[in-house]
Amino acid sequence: MIVLAIDPGPTTCGVVLYDSEAKRVLYSEAAATVAEVIARIDSRAPIGEPQWPLIAIERVQAQGQSGASLLRTSEVVGRCWEAALGRGYRVRLVYRREVLKALDVTGRGSRDAMVRARLIEIHGGHKVAAVGTKKAPGPCYGVSSHAWAALGVAVAAAGGAGEVGL
């Protein structure tokens, strides 16, 4: 299954196009603007394609008092969700806790670092095998920064069930 995964932020998003069967990143971008992400969703019509991609978006969850950044991020989630549904894509909204559970990430410390380490382990066992080099790219070649979080969303969405509609 091909998954376009989005790690939304208030102004930029991490984006990954992931082939879950080949366990390979086809495209990644660490800091795409919200307008670029919406344009990317709008530019590709899934109608008539042999296999529609799944669009997976990390859904925000408030814990206590919500700040302006979290509210703006939730608006970005809504914009991406609406654009994807409007084009006929299958959409799955994934909470961060679902990503952590799917990747079996537990314990204290930086969850982002643990997600990255777990994704490297899944895709080759160590950084050299998972990321590779320019001459010999690995399955996660080109993934950086917020794209790692998007890759976590893709892996969780590909392994999980439950699509979300209006």
Q: pLDDT of 126-158, one tens digit each?
A: 998 999 999 999 999 999 999 999 999 999 999
71-103 pLDDT, tens digit per residue, is 889 999 999 999 999 888 899 999 999 999 999
Classified as helix, coil or strand, 9 is coil
Q: For the stretch 7-23, what's the b/e string if a residue is b when 16 or more beta carbons lie within 10 angstroms of its beta carbon?
A: bbbbebbbbbbbbeeee
Helix H segments across the chain? 34-43, 68-86, 96-102, 111-122, 127-130, 146-159
CA-to-CA distance for 63 and 159, rounded, in angstroms?
26
31-59 pLDDT, tens digit per residue, is 999 999 998 888 765 444 545 679 999 99
Percent of all residues in the chain with a pLDDT value above 90, rounded to a whole number: 63
